[in-house]
A and B are shown apart, each in its own frame.
Chain A
Amino acid sequence: MEALGLLLHGFAVLLTGKTLVLMMVGLVLGIFVGVLPGLGGPNGVAILLPLTFTMDPTSAIVMLSCIYWGALFGGAITSILFNIPGEAWSVATTFDGYPMAQQGRAAEALTAAFTSSFVGSLVAVLLITFLAPMISSFALKFGPPEFFAVYLLTFCSFVGLGREAKHKTVISMSLGLLLAGVGMDTVSGNLRMTFGSADLLRGINFLVAVIGLFGISEILLTMEERLALRGHAASISLRVVLGVWKDLPKYWVTLLRSSFIGCWLGITPGGAIAASFMGYNLAKRFAKEPESFGKGRIEGVFAPETAAHASGTSALLPMLALGIPGSGTAAILLGGLMVWGLNPGPLLFVEHKDFVWGLIASMYLGNVVGLVLVLTTVPIFASILRVPFAAVAPMIVVSCAIGAYAIQNAMFDIWLMLGFGIVGYVFKKIGIPLAPFTLALVLGNRAEDAFRLSMIGSGGNLGVFWSNGLVGSITTLAIVLLFWPVIDGLLARVGWTTRTRATSP
């Protein structure tokens, strides 16, 4: 197995003192942002990204991805102890996790959550280890038309499969693609949409937008809510941990089902939130006594947590193999790759072996270390919530400003960040999704270049997108997905599908 050898090499890259320290720092910061209300995976990664600007790419990605794992772990702590989901994907964990804490089984629930997170990520990482190199070597044969077709597929599946109102997804995505085009046109060298402004000449930086959209707007949103909380304190003893682990084989069906759902929804842009609800609902449907769910059943913790983590991790697969992020956080990591001077895409596996396999190895190691870390330090992290938000909020604002300024050393970017903060706040409140915007902004130029290069190659003939079996089927699939709600409705009318779907409660 070539992958195995390269993975071992990845571990060798990783096992230096410096990288291990960065990993720990990343995990601790990640759990911290996961526990704090109003901060989550994408926000944490976006705000802390500037810390990595001066590092080499491998250390940087190890630290950033560990922040991401940490945030995934951290979300479960507040869900179970305080009934406050730190992350949207932890909402389903509160259904049974909090009742367990009320019954004095907090330690058991936390262990179950952390363990299933670990299992979910592990399945997803195994998938990445063996599938990503295959996909990327296949994608090496891709020309511009194939790439454009894949980009089109990503955008269309967001519109067709997203849960938000379709026109809002379209608005969000076309706005992102438009703003990506501001500045110098890379193919012809012409200026576009700059209106004579020297600041707009550089274009709208993706990371500045993300820091505003996810950092500043999240502070505004959090301040709207009542921040008072009361919850259970818990410490985990080895006896409880071993007790839960001993029972683990009994739940293998639930774990496997949730991992599968998570991996699938992670690679397609369904996301961790949908995955956690679907995992929970399916576990409930297949249970012998579904009415016992919601009253403190350990399976009700296993199912959503496994799915959420499998999804969060496998979202990195398309990012690594094709340069297409499967989630908002993956999109930010992709933005990071560009800052560190790497060109995302299938060539990554050929030109930057150290980087790719270091990252994959860090997924294994980060999850093991993360599991041990959260199991031993839960009481400390739960008490972070005692720190008043009035102290945390201005610190987050300062970190955002540092991040936004550091990218291009431009004061204009600070104002841009503030503007995007307002946009993010308003968009979130009227239900315009931010993930399609983020994705469109980071992929916009690449998608346009691929389109125009295909057009130059074919002499302006759109038929190039159906010129061979591969590109033709991807393009057709994209169009089918775009109109999926319509097609699904028609099929239902004819009576072909029954339209029974797991819906969130």
Chain B
Amino acid sequence: MSQTDIEIVVDDPTAPEDDSPSVVSSGTIEIIVCLLLLALAVTLGYDNWRTGASWDATGPEPGYFPFYLSVILGGGSLYGLIAALLARRVVSASFVTRAQARRVMAVFVPTLLFCLVMQFLGLYVASFLLIAGFMRLVGKIALWKSLLTAFVFTAIMFVTFDVAFDVIMPKGPLEAALGR
């Protein structure tokens, strides 16, 4: 097989290493998720019981349908919990390795900040900051490229949604200063 005709090569400088140690196993996460779902099922089940989950003259009361769904959800998560606990003795696959977790956080934390900043500065400023910051800090892309890409993308979004289609987005002081 000749490798000479390969023309497109893209590198990933911050790729997670393959031999990174596991942070937590899938089995453990499965147990946690099942416990959370069980708690949710109990909470929702109780709330529906309070609303009224019995059968009156005209058929089921408002809480009837969701109450029994909570029972099914509870049953399913209980089964999942027991299955996961029993499977624990067997070596469980890794849920996420340390290197992978770092990369996931590298995108999750900026997304979280973006949602926070949006409340104060509006969506367009926040998205400019997110794109420029992410490209520069996580992607290690040249500063001017990052700023330019972020500006062009945000501008296109602004023109498409705010100017052309009149879709209202959260706005901040900058848009106010520009009179929009």
Interface of A toward B, CB cutoff 8 Å: 50-51, 53-54, 81-82, 102, 104, 165, 167-168, 170-171, 174-175, 177-178, 181, 185, 187-188, 190, 192-193, 195, 216, 219-220, 223-233, 382-383, 385-386, 388-391, 393-395, 397-399, 401-402, 405-406, 409, 411, 414-415, 418, 421, 425-427, 429-430, 432, 448, 451-452, 455-456, 459-460
A192/B8 in contact, CB under 8 A: no
In order of increasing CB-CB distance, the 3 nearest A-B pairs are A390-B139, A455-B59, A233-B7
In the complex with contacts A394-B135, A460-B59, A382-B73 CB distance below 8 A:
no
A-B contact sample (13 more), CB < 8 A, given A168-B80, A230-B8, A390-B134:
A53-B165, A175-B37, A185-B62, A193-B44, A216-B111, A223-B104, A232-B5, A388-B135, A401-B118, A415-B115, A451-B60, A460-B57, A460-B60
A405/B29 in contact, CB under 8 A: no
Q: How many A-B residue pairs have CB under 8 A?
A: 213
A233/B77 in contact, CB under 8 A: no
Identify which of A51, A188, A391, A393 contacts B107 (C-beta below 8 A): A393
A223 to chain B, nearest CB (A): 5
Identify which of B8, B26, B73 contacts A386 (C-beta below 8 A): B8
A223/B58 in contact, CB under 8 A: no
Closest to B131 in A: A394
Most buried by A among B6, B65, B134: B65
**Pairs A–B under 8 Å by Cβ, sample size 28:** A51-B160, A82-B8, A171-B77, A178-B66, A185-B62, A190-B51, A192-B47, A192-B51, A193-B44, A223-B104, A223-B107, A224-B96, A226-B12, A227-B12, A227-B15, A228-B12, A229-B8, A229-B9, A385-B8, A402-B123, A402-B169, A405-B123, A415-B115, A429-B96, A452-B59, A455-B58, A456-B59, A460-B60
Alpha-carbon distance between A283 and B75 when the two chains are bound, in angstroms: 41
A178/B5 in contact, CB under 8 A: no
Identify which of B10, B48, B70 contacts A228 (C-beta below 8 A): B10
Contacts of A411 in B (CB 8 A): 118-119, 170
Alpha-carbon distance between A192 and B45 when the two chains are bound, in angstroms: 11
A395/B59 in contact, CB under 8 A: no
User: CB of B19 within 8 A of chain A?
Assistant: no
Contact digits for B1-33, partner A, Cβ 8 Å, 1 yes 0 no: 100011111111001100000000010011001
Interface of B toward A, CB cutoff 8 Å: 1, 5-12, 15-16, 26, 29-30, 33, 37, 40, 44, 47-48, 51, 55, 57-63, 65-66, 69-70, 72-73, 75-77, 79-80, 83, 95-96, 100, 103-104, 106-108, 110-112, 114-115, 118-119, 123, 127, 130-131, 134-135, 138-141, 149, 153-154, 157, 160-161, 165-170
B157/A402 in contact, CB under 8 A: yes
Alpha-carbon distance between A177 and B157 when the two chains are bound, in angstroms: 34
B51/A455 in contact, CB under 8 A: no
B131/A395 in contact, CB under 8 A: yes
Identify which of A227, A405, A425, A459 contacts B10 (C-beta below 8 A): A227
A178/B127 in contact, CB under 8 A: no
Contacts of B15 in A (CB 8 A): 226-228
Contacts of B170 in A (CB 8 A): 405, 411
Alpha-carbon distance between A165 and B135 when the two chains are bound, in angstroms: 39
Alpha-carbon distance between A51 and B159 when the two chains are bound, in angstroms: 12
Alpha-carbon distance between A170 and B34 when the two chains are bound, in angstroms: 13
